[in-house]
Amino acid sequence: MMSVWVLLLSLLWSLVEVHSQQTFPYISFNGTTLANHSYMDLSLVGNDVTGSSDSVQCHTDLTTCCSKAQGSHRGDWYFPNGPRLLFSEDGYSIYENRTAQIIDLRRRNNPTSPVGIYRCDIPTNAVHDGTDFSVRDAPVYVGLYTASGGDVEISGYTILFEISDLSGPSPRFTLACISTGGPATTVTWTRDSTTITQGTQTVLNDPVTAQYTHTLTVTGTVEGRYGCNVSNNKPSSDLAQLLVSCKPNGIKEGIILTLFCASSIQLPH
């Protein structure tokens, strides 16, 4: 009798789950259908810079979570099916840079690792000042979409954002690339390899470090592969690297897109 009640309750719960999932719109990315819940999904693949200028390595997957949490514990990574990743997990490595306030998750060549949304939980004592990737007192959800495998490009990395509902009358989002070691002589924004000239801006943040913020503001819900290509001309005696990073800035909820951020050094002839 007890088993019958358990079966009925499990069936009822499954119906509730299906109904709750169907109340959300669905978005497809690389053939994978995602339930568009109210979370951020950020996938970052490419350059693995571990802190020193000469230790750039190429990994199959690199995913980054940015946290402002105080103390030694920045956050934790979790598998798509729920368990927490350990630092010694087979096929993975976790690098925590407390100075840069990032937590990198690297997936080495491991064909058995699950594909899906990897979650990064940030402690609720984080200071949310707009420079991290989380919303207040909420986790950041990170996705690795690696069904096709393949090597990443060493020239940059890809970011995917997916946030909840986009139902406002005037939807817009802003993408930002930050470069240091400039000044940048060339800043080009693209969408699916097409140059974008409207809605771009470059602002000098710090004249000492020559840090610039390059922004692109897009009105509407235009999906695509967005690129920020930054380069500068530097004398051969100056070996400083032009460093470029990407982050969301004032993104309205509900857009799914990719942002490709690349940097290059062009020495004068």
Residue range(s) of every CATH 2.60.40.10 domain in the chain: 34-154
How close are the terminal C-alpha atoms of the chain, in Å?
85
pLDDT tens sequence across 60-102:
344 555 555 556 666 677 776 667 777 655 555 555 544 445 5
Instruction: Decide if domain 34-154 falls under CATH 3.40.50.720.
Output: no
In angstroms, rounded to a whole number, what is the distance separating the alpha carbons of residues 226 and 257?
Answer: 7
Q: Is 17 helix (H, G, I), strand (E, B) or coil?
A: helix
Residue whose entry in the numeric block shows the structure tokens 């969301």: 248
Taking 50 as the pLDDT cut, the residues of the chain under it are 2, 6-7, 9, 11-62, 97-100, 126-167, 235-269
In angstroms, rounded to a whole number, what is the distance separating the alpha carbons of residues 110 and 225?
Answer: 27
What topology does CATH give the domain 164-269? Immunoglobulin-like (2.60.40)
> How crowded is the C-beta side of 2, counted as CA atoms within 13 Å?
0
Q: What angle do CA 148, 45, 195 make, to 5 degrees?
A: 100
pLDDT tens sequence across 176-190:
666 666 566 677 887
Whether residue 183 has a cis bond before it, omega within 30° of 0: yes
